Amino acid sequence: MTTKELLGLTVRRPLLLAVMAFAIAALQGPDANLSLFFLHRQDRWLLLVGTVLLALCVWRLPARERALPGQWQPGLTIGILMAAGAFVGHYFVLSGYDMSRDEQMASFDAAVFASGSLATSLPEMWRQHAEALNTMFMYPADPRAAWISDYLPLNAALRAAIGLVATPVLTGPLMILLGAIALYGCIRRIWPDSGEAAVVGLLLYAGSAQIVVNGMTAYAMPAHLALNLCWLWLFLKGRGWADLAALAVGFVAVGLHQPLMHPMFAGPILFLLLLERDWRRAALYLVGYAAIGLFWLWWPHWISTLVQVDGVAQQVRDAGYLTRLLNALAAGDGSGIANMVANLLRFAAWQHLLLIPLLILGIVVSRRDRLAGALAAGLLLTIAVMTVILPYQGHGFGYRYLHGLIGNAILLAVYGWQSIGEGIGKWRSLLIGTTGASLLVLLPLQLWMAHGFYAPPATLSARIDGMDVDYVVIGERDVPFSADLIVNPPLIDRRPARLLRDELTPDLVKTLCKDGGTVAVIEPSFLEPITHYYGFGRSPGAVEASQAVAAGLRDAGCKVSLVQ
């Protein structure tokens, strides 16, 4: 295989992705939504740098072809190194901060579960005014007695369990470690005679910044990836006890966060049982997943009763997943395809440099290999479904809704590797070179970008914590995502309590000020680091709104300071 041929196989498509990213950025401004902002600020540059690095690695291939250490057992070693990096990175890259509402709700729920409850009762004064505390992504209630997020509970439960013996921050890193071990197990089941296949798969895993950086967060995605790989490892064993264990893993995976994610991974693989006419196993999984699905569909209806004053789910229609699905479909703004293209470009930008070229080779193989076809179908099904129901992912690194299927992409890439044949020596040298470039050049750039994204709100949140007042009031839309600064612990026992300015009713103001409470009203200038990072999003009239609220609080008897 000549250098020119290798360039065509490896660089052409990443170059096309980089061109697409710059073309979309030229047509769409960064203020359209967060996906387009990421494309402008991070992903187009990562794709460009990645393409250049990939081309350089091809041009600079050594004359002497290198060999991969086929007998090396790298799963545990790579997993430990990645887990350690993610743990340290939570504090030094992400500033030890839960920035997005998803992360905050995972930590919130974990604190609730660690206390031995499924929902935390609200103090009497807050029951009629909970909206001011920020109840975004929480079960609706009217009147409200308690609060808990409306996500499924098992990601938070894992964090609570680990928090009993260590820090919950270890959850993501441990999921990275478990995923590496399970990926190694899957590869050894699929290619038992190829030690090299495991090395290839784990180097692609190690070179994924999406895996490493999401492992620094409280997102459920690291657990989705680890449990999906564990499930596949058990499924491939094909034994009765392993199938029962896979169903247990499936129960946890469905209940991590949102119920759709794991079934879209498992469904195409389980379809193989029908193609193979393995009726016994097919029936076992059908019954098992029917029970799992019914349980987790029932869960939100039951939990919603716990947050009501009288224990009756008066708004149960808003708690069920069918209602949420219909609401998501109704909320579509016609930009689903554009958002999904941006998501997929972001996915590619945060992976190992060689993953996309090898993945494309693997998709060719999937046309004639049933398991490879099922892995590819899981990717395509997830992309298609999420394009329809939730094309906007919001915060995250890479494309979060494909995170649980990164294992599929890596396994397909290994299928592609196994199909190379002539010229494999050059590919071995290229894999070593691109792994070094991914870890030594691209990953530091990605970590720098992640830090820049988290540092402004983390710094402001720390400043708010240091204010010597009873309450801090912030406008929900003063700057991009300023509502995410309004996060309170379950018992509201941290001073100052954080309140949404737009939810301050006259009754609540009277309650806060009756004993001369101290309040800091945040002006938009205080939030300037966030505005400076985004470069847009200043809300017109925010200054006037802050000053009007401050005047109303003073009139009610509060001691008020305007914080700039």
- pLDDT for res 351: 97
Mean pLDDT, residues 168-192: 97
- pLDDT at residue 27 greater than cutoff 60: yes
Q: What Cα–Cα distance (Å) separates residue 35 from each residue in 56, 212, 317, 405, 423?
A: 29, 20, 31, 20, 39
Q: What is the rounded distance in angstroms from the CA atom of residue 47 to the CA atom of residue 122?
A: 47
Contact 521, 501 (CB under 8 A): yes
Question: Model's pTM, two decimal places?
Answer: 0.94
Q: What is the rounded distance in angstroms from the CA atom of residue 377 to the CA atom of residue 356?
A: 16
Q: What is the rounded distance in angstroms from the CA atom of residue 175 to the CA atom of residue 170?
A: 9
Predicted confidence band of residue 330 (pLDDT cuts 50, 70, 90): low
Predicted confidence band of residue 320 (pLDDT cuts 50, 70, 90): low
Here the tokens at position 381 are: 């099904």
Q: What is the rounded distance in angstroms from the CA atom of residue 379 to the CA atom of residue 344?
A: 11
Mean pLDDT, residues 471-475: 96
pLDDT tens for 49-103 read 999 999 999 988 875 666 676 555 677 889 999 999 999 999 999 999 999 999 9
Q: Where are the alpha helices (DSSP H) in 466-505?
A: none
Of 361-370, 416-425, 474-483, 544-553, the poorest mean pLDDT is in 416-425
Q: What is the rounded distance in angstroms from the CA atom of residue 353 to the CA atom of residue 4?
A: 18
- pLDDT for res 327: 59
Please give the angle made by the CA atoms of 221, 446 and 14, to the nearest 5 degrees: 90
- pLDDT for res 324: 59
Residue 150 gets which letter from DSSP? S
Contact 139, 242 (CB under 8 A): no
Residue 500, strand partner residues: 474
Nearest to 212 by CA among 172, 158, 183: 172
- pLDDT at residue 329 greater than cutoff 60: no
DSSP string of 303-320, one letter each residue? HHHHTBTTSS-TTGGGTS
Lookup result for tokens 């004064």: 125
Nearest to 493 by CA among 162, 143, 121: 121
Q: Inter-axis angle of helices 171-190 and 195-206, to 10 degrees?
A: 150
Q: What is the mean pLDDT of the chain?
A: 92
Express as a percent the part of the chain with pLDDT over 90. Answer: 79
Predicted confidence band of residue 331 (pLDDT cuts 50, 70, 90): low
- pLDDT at residue 318 greater than cutoff 70: no
Q: What is the dihedral of CA 539, 541, 547, 549, to 10 degrees?
A: -80
Q: What is the rounded distance in angstroms from the CA atom of residue 49 to the CA atom of residue 21?
A: 12
- pLDDT for res 62: 72
Mean pLDDT, residues 497-506: 96
- pLDDT for res 308: 87
Mean pLDDT, residues 498-502: 96
pLDDT tens for 102-147 read 999 999 999 999 999 999 999 988 999 999 999 999 999 888 899 9
Nearest to 68 by CA among 440, 443, 414: 414
Here the tokens at position 313 are: 């789910």
Side by side, which strands form the sheet with 471-474? 497-500, 471-474, 518-522, 559-563
- pLDDT for res 3: 65
Here the tokens at position 155 are: 């990601």
Mean pLDDT, residues 471-490: 95
Helix (H, G, I), strand (E, B) or coil at 559: strand
- pLDDT at residue 537 greater than cutoff 90: no
**Which are the contacts of 520, defined by CB distance < 8 A and separation ≥ 6?**
464, 467, 469, 471, 472, 473, 496, 560, 561, 563
Residues in the chain: 564
Mean pLDDT, residues 183-190: 96
pLDDT tens for 232-274 read 999 999 999 999 999 999 999 999 999 999 999 999 999 999 9
- pLDDT at residue 295 greater than cutoff 60: yes
Here the tokens at position 455 are: 């540092």
Q: What is the rounded distance in angstroms from the CA atom of residue 11 to the CA atom of residue 545?
A: 53
Q: Is 4 exposed, middle or buried (0-12, 13-18, 19+ CB in 10 A)?
A: exposed
Contact 193, 70 (CB under 8 A): no
- What's the chain's Rg over C-alpha atoms? 25
Q: What is the rounded distance in angstroms from the CA atom of residue 56 to the CA atom of residue 348?
A: 18
